[in-house]
Amino acid sequence: MAVTRRVMRGVTPEAVFDVLRDGRTYADWVVGTRAIRVVEAGWPEPGTALHYTIGYGLLRKDDETRATAYEPGRRLEMEAKAWPAGSARIELRAEPVQDGTLVSIEEHPVRGFGALVHNPVLDLSIKIRNLETLRRLERQALRRA
């Protein structure tokens, strides 16, 4: 399981969740997402989904991320699909700290090839990707703060 954390100075948990609730922004801050095709009504309530495109050319793939749990201003859990790699459980948490918000992403593969080959090297690559994802999320939240 890969856990990545970042303290976002000058950002409230509400500002972070303003971004998370806006499904159209995910292509702006989630590393690897090329475009958001559809945001289902009610996002991010459990059961709703974002439909997205990843990759380019022959490696282009359309898939979805479905919300599985949501606590406004505190926690969002999703299952992201990227067949043939499988799917991953992703949990984002925001908690207030002095001068900002501690945001964490916990991610691990749950189905498919990614779950079969899950190992520390894969976790490290997820962690590196999520460092950039959190940096981009912070930039989006600061714009809204």
Q: Name the domain count of the chain.
A: 1
Q: What angle do CA 86, 4, 1 make, to 5 degrees?
A: 45
Residue 139 has pLDDT above 90, yes or no: yes
Does pTM surpass 0.95? Answer: no
Give 117-134 pLDDT, tens digit per residue: 777 888 899 999 999 999
- What integer pLDDT is reported at residue 135 of this predicted model? 98
pLDDT band at 51 (very low <50, low <70, confident <90, very high): very high
Q: What is the residue range of 101's domain? A: 2-144
Q: What is the pLDDT of residues 9-21, one digit of tens each?
A: 999 999 999 999 9
Find out whether the peptide bond into 72 is cis, omega within 30 degrees of 0: no
Q: Rounded to an integer, what distance in angstroms lies between the CA atom of residue 136 and that of residue 130?
A: 10
Q: Is 3 left (phi over 0), alpha (psi -120 to 50) or beta?
A: beta
CATH number of the domain residue 65 falls in: 3.30.530.20
Q: What is the pLDDT of residue 115?
A: 74
Q: Which of 29-38, 54-63, 92-101 has the lowest mean pLDDT?
A: 54-63
Please tell me the distance from the alpha carbon of residue 80 to that of residue 63, in angstroms, as a whole number: 8
For residue 120, the model assigns a pLDDT of 87
